[in-house]
Structure 1
Amino acid sequence: MLTRLGAARLAGWAAAASALSILILGSTPIAIGLFVPPWDKAAHFIAYFTIGCFVALGFGCRRPLLGLMLTIGLGAIDKSLQFFEPGRMPELADLLADAAGAGGSVLLASRASITTDAD
């Protein structure tokens, strides 16, 4: 049986693996044109929502704003690295989609924290 601490550690590792995947795979040619507009924004939202959920679970849903800042920070780092990648150009709309996904995960984590605290 998975304890809360075990689940938090697992979520932390999943967040780290997801972040590394975005940073590493984002610098490969496969990332260019992987999703066509407007679906690329949906992909950004889903990816950063998922990472935000992993981060929130890793913190035990207790520090949602820290999770939000870390997840949006990852998006900002990813967009900054795109300046140095041939064929890639960072877009503010991508960062906004990342932030929206991260924000959605914070809302969900906050809600889960309130529900858990009430039990």
Structure 2
Amino acid sequence: MKQFLSSKFFKVLFALGVLAIFLGSVTPGKQLPSDLPWDKALHFIGYFGLAFLARMGSDKRPSWLLIVSCITFSLIIELIQLFIPNRGFEWTDVLANSLGVLTGTVVALLIRPLVVKGAVKRP
């Protein structure tokens, strides 16, 4: 299979993902749509995507460091929410985020060599 995307492409998407998650997470609770689907699924999907893009875009960093970084970002966001109206820290959000990070990393490890130019398999 021909590899067709560069890691730079995924780095740009990762940066946009960080920005989107940050902005969505610091929006006061009353300004969020009330008809959102199950909250924990959104957390899982968002952090799945973030970790997936981090692994796909990183040539040099080990997976464990990307996992720790994404989960730390998640914890920082949850702590910031303590100071935002109608938002708060939830351990279940951190759990959903962490499961998304782990799953996104594994999926990226499996498909990165097939998609990214010059990619090598990484642990």
Q: TM-score, normalised by structure 1?
A: 0.79
Contact 1:15-1:54 within 8 A present in 2 as well: yes
Pairwise CA distance, 1:112: 3.4
**Contact 1:52–1:102, Cα closer than 8 Å, also in 2:** yes
1:44-83 correspondence runs (5 A):
44-60=43-59, 63-83=62-82
% identical aligned pairs: 26
CA drift of 1:97 comes to 0.3
Find the aligned partners of 2:80 and 2:12 in 1 and give their Cα distance: 23
Separation (CA, whole Å) in 1 of partners of 2:106 and 2:33: 31
Q: Which amino acid aligns with 1:8?
A: S
CA RMSD of aligned residues (A): 2.6
TM superposition outliers: structure 1 runs of 4+ over 4 Å: 113-117
User: How many residues get paired?
Assistant: 112
Conserved in 2, the CA contact under 8 Å of 1:32 and 1:87? no
Q: Which has the higher helix share?
A: 1
CA contact under 8 A between 1:53 and 1:105: conserved in structure 2?
Answer: yes
RCO (CA 8 Å, sep 6+): is it higher in 1 or 2?
A: 2
Uncovered stretches (5+) of structure 2, i.e. residues with no partner? 115-119
CA contact (8 A) 2:56 2:112 kept: no
Instruction: Name the SS for the 1:26 alignment partner.
Output: helix
Cα deviations across residues 60-80 of structure 1 (Å, max 9, x unaligned)? 486211111121111111101
| TM value normalised by structure 2 | 0.76
Any gaps of 5 or more consecutive residues in structure 1?
none
